[in-house]
């Protein structure tokens, strides 16, 4: 598994709950180290082991933890590059949602060996969408739900989100009801590097 995934879990837990809790999670997961390097590759089992341990140590459901990780990746100042990559998807939340189909390709432009699970946006009716997520990483739909929640806030949109198992095996689905695309003023964003 790519180190950026495990590093993101580490950053979320350390910033939200503190370093001692992160070390407790890694110990509980059976790891003899607690720091992940973003550009290295690790055994595929580490990620589910870390998430299982986080669920036990934090006393929270895994889906909630993964949703919070998705939002953390967009909102935390240390991950501004993620927000910028996502904001290049469009001028408003609807444009952004339509750009998600090629998210894995855009990510590979920045990090060539990081392969994200595929997602596909389906337009169901006026203001209603479904994001179908490949669940090769179990719970990835929850991560995308956190990303969508944070990006709706970022764009100033009001959207209702609901996670469910996908209709096909190995998929998860996020149902999106867009109540209002221009509900509030979004966060400032500029295409120029170094400008919020």
pLDDT per position as a tens digit, 102-119: 888 888 888 888 888 889
- Position 180 confidence tier, pLDDT thresholds 50, 70, 90: confident
Burial of 11 (0-12, 13-18, 19+ CB in 10 A): buried
Give the helix/strand (H/E) hosting 132: strand 128-134
pLDDT for position 117: 86
CB–CB of 142/70 below 8 Å?
yes
pLDDT tens for 50-88 read 999 999 999 999 999 999 999 999 999 888 888 888 888
Please name which of 192, 176, 191, 59 lies closest in space to residue 126, comparing C-alpha atoms. 176
How many H helices and E strands in the chain?
Answer: 8, 4
pTM of structure: 0.89
Q: Is the dihedral of CA 64, 65, 66, 68 positive or negative?
A: positive
Name the token pair of 195.
Answer: 């400008």
- Position 189 confidence tier, pLDDT thresholds 50, 70, 90: low
Name the token pair of 107.
Answer: 């990510």
Taking the CA atoms of the chain, what radius of gyration do you get in angstroms? 17
> What's the distance, Cα to Cα, between the start and end of the chain in Å?
31
Lowest mean pLDDT among 91-95, 160-164, 165-169: 165-169
Q: How far apart are CA 52 and CA 50, in angstroms?
A: 5
Please name which of 122, 103, 127 lies closest in space to residue 171, comparing C-alpha atoms. 122
Average pLDDT over residues 147-166: 92
């Amino acid at each position: 598994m790519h180190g950026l995934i495990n590093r993101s879990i580490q950053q979320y837990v350390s910033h939200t709950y503190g370093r001692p809790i992160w070390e407790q999670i890694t110990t509980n997961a059976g790891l003899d180290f607690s720091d992940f390097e973003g550009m290295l590759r690790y055994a595929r089992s580490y990620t589910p082991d870390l998430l299982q341990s986080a669920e036990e140590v934090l006393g929270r459901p895994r889906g909630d933890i993964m949703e919070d990780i998705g939002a953390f990746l967009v909102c935390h100042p240390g991950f501004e590059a993620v927000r910028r990559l996502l904001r290049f998807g469009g001028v408003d939340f609807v444009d952004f949602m339509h750009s998600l189909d090629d998210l894995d390709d855009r990510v590979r432009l920045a990090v060539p060996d990081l392969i994200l699970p595929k997602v596909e946006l389906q337009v169901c009716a006026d203001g209603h969408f479904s994001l179908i997520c490949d669940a090769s990483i179990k719970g990835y739909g929850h991560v995308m739900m956190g990303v969508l929640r944070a990006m709706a806030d970022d764009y100033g949109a009001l959207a209702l989100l609901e996670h469910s198992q996908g209709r096909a095996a190995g998929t998860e689905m996020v149902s999106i009801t867009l109540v209002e695309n221009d509900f509030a003023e979004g966060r400032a964003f500029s295409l120029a590097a170094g400008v919020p």
